[in-house]
Chain A
């Protein structure tokens, strides 16, 4: 894997200090899959604060369809980790009422596509509750949603929902790409006094890494440069960070040096890290799985040209999914942006005018 370089500390950054390279070995740090890291984060958050409640469909007895909530009901009891009736609006609706009474709910929506029935509760209530009460009521709700494609699933199990939440004021949106980030972004989301939509790249559930659960990683609102390069900045998040890193190895063979920025947190957005990189490379390609139109790439492209127009050597390009419904499993490899689609954009960005 590639070396990880983090942005230098800036004024206003929260303590703790960013730690060193993420993939160097940490003494005693257990090697965990991303699914295990999320499980560990839930366990540790529940142990740290007895107001934390985990609930959703199949999360207790079964331990979740991906076993991400395994053992929580046994350890903390059915009053703190429980199965709900099969009703997503209900799951988010009760989370709001629990938060009104001072609890810290961590509901699960079983799959991305089934967030749609919860849309009204998330957009009309959860996101607005703090403002509607003029700041009187915290909504420390973290909604975990196993998300995105690439696992050969049936319909409604591979969706990218982030644009809906990013277009909704009041929600924070984070997407981990590594087991360590999965652990720490979830711990930070749960202690956040604002609602956080935590999108889990289920395609990467089984990637492994040593996870240091004692030293906090970068906070929500900070991006990480996963690979340093000189020619083109690739801005991405979640499942596609690994895709971008493998594409960067291929790009080397063409003599193109890619810098890979992992956003980690889509809102709040660490635009400073993006800007620092694009100022250096002069070229940017945004990559995400979701459909192109009004995907987060549209926002980033707009923002980059608004603020960095005179630093750009080439138009900001987008390597994304298509404006079609997510396709059947046999076609998804063709639909999803992979190294080839990214490198086509890189080639275009590198062309002399």
Chain B
């Protein structure tokens, strides 16, 4: 597989199954065909992800959250990538994968703990085979490779998927991860959400290669560009890579071409570095509107679906708000107790010192 791809190069035109106007494309290498309930589920996830994202921003603006990193515009990419995998396939996310978290059943409260400043890494992620969020850029690709090497040794036919971004591909660790994955032929999928911007630096400043996917040639693995605003294309392309990995065919590098519609985080001001025209251009390529039009054209979208999605969305937004507003902090002792499995004598002393300080104040 790798030899074929390296010889064949990488197609610059992204794989697209549904056009920006919602009409099916002529693409015939991949299938759009999924059961109606799967199609509705993808729609539900995308809409709720966007609604939750908005609620996170509201909560940050109201002073309830320290910060938030919006995934607006990237719903199709991350949901398509995660939806085609099994629940036991491990995901190694960055910090912007709200859609993938939601899909795995991580609750708004468990995600919100990060942005509330309640706990680093998220709560209970690993129970859902999702690694804790990773703030240092590009570093967790190696964790995904190590997990995939573990899966090989466990004799599993599982796949490990790493979410990385365009900026992350400039990091040395991304190179090491891709190289290790290829050398050890690991069942690992690298899903790069190229959202065009690493805070204020455009992807054109990250590399001189024709595309991120082209880098796969140098590693000896297949590289594929996909329209990251087309959920069905992302689903199909990742499903193909995952199957190859399960069959012992090794890793794949997928570049999902998408756009970060919002700021880098709530602390960022994107008007300083990008134009309104550019944002308007990408708004017209919105992943949700496009998918809704497509679902209407094949009679999967109904008023009842919309109502059901809206009701669930409202419930989850309420759940998020209630988990955040006025939420209790964790006991400060946990700060000491979770550093080591067996707390050290020095940390016992320091914990006592802090508790004594608090007792004095009380």
Contact = CB atoms under 8 A, between A and B. Distances in A.
B344 interface: yes
A253 interface: no
Interface in B173-226: 173, 176-177, 179-180, 183
Contact of A100 (B143, B339, B346): B143
A120 B90 CA distance: 23
B346 A121 contact: no
Contact of B173 (A89, A138, A269): A89
Contacts of B172: 89, 117
Contacts of B160: 97
B123 interface: yes
B233 interface: no
Contact of A101 (B136, B147, B173): B147
20 contacts: A53-B153, A89-B176, A90-B142, A90-B180, A93-B141, A93-B145, A93-B177, A97-B92, A101-B90, A102-B150, A105-B146, A124-B139, A125-B136, A128-B120, A130-B339, A131-B338, A134-B119, A170-B340, A267-B344, A267-B346
A350 interface: no
Interface stretch (B33-41, B75-83, B125-133): B125-133
Contact of A97 (B127, B147, B341): B147
B145 A130 contact: no
Contact of B345 (A79, A98, A129, A271): A271
A131 to B, nearest CB: 4
B249 to A, nearest CB: 19
Contact of B146 (A97, A131, A194, A221): A97
Contacts of B85: none
A217 B115 CA distance: 46
A100 B338 contact: no
Of B120, B124, B150, B342, most A-chain CB atoms within 10 Å? B150
A118 B120 CA distance: 22
A110 B106 CA distance: 40
B147 A135 contact: no
B90 to A, nearest CB: 7
Given A132-B132, A133-B125, A93 B344 contact: no
Nearest to B172: A89
Given A131-B339, A134-B123, 13 more contacts: A97-B142, A97-B147, A98-B146, A99-B146, A100-B150, A120-B136, A120-B173, A125-B136, A125-B140, A131-B335, A138-B341, A172-B340, A194-B342
B144 interface: yes
Interface in B304-343: 334-335, 337-342
Interface of B: 90, 92, 119-121, 123-127, 131-132, 134, 136, 139-154, 160, 172-173, 176-177, 179-180, 183, 334-335, 337-342, 344-346
A113 to B, nearest CB: 17
A84 B144 CA distance: 16
Contacts of A103: 150, 153
Interface string A258-269: 000000000111
Interface string A91-114: 011111111111101000000000
Contact of B344 (A94, A135, A268): A268
A286 to B, nearest CB: 17
A85 B346 contact: no
A65 interface: no
A96 B131 CA distance: 11
Contact of B132 (A93, A95, A133, A192): A133
B90 A100 contact: yes
B180 to A, nearest CB: 5
B120 A85 contact: no
Contacts of B124: 136
A78 B151 CA distance: 16
A135 B112 CA distance: 18
A97 B149 contact: yes
A120 B177 contact: no
B131 A100 contact: yes
A131 B123 CA distance: 11
Contact of B150 (A98, A117, A120, A128): A98
Contacts of B179: 85, 87, 90
A93 B141 CA distance: 8
Of A131, A137, A267, most B-chain CB atoms within 10 Å? A131
A87 B176 contact: yes
B153 A79 contact: yes
Contacts of B141: 93
A117 B153 CA distance: 27
A138 B339 CA distance: 10
Contacts of A84: 180
A47 interface: no
A312 to B, nearest CB: 21
A299 B126 CA distance: 37
Contacts of B335: 131
A221 B144 CA distance: 33
B121 A133 contact: yes
Contacts of A124: 136, 139
A170 B339 contact: yes
Contacts of B148: 97
Contacts of B139: 93, 120-121, 124-125
Interface string A188-230: 0000111000000000000000000000000001000000000
The 10 closest A-B pairs by CB, nearest first: A97-B146, A93-B142, A101-B150, A94-B146, A132-B121, A90-B176, A97-B143, A97-B147, A193-B341, A268-B344
A161 B224 CA distance: 42
A94 B145 contact: yes
Contacts of A138: 341
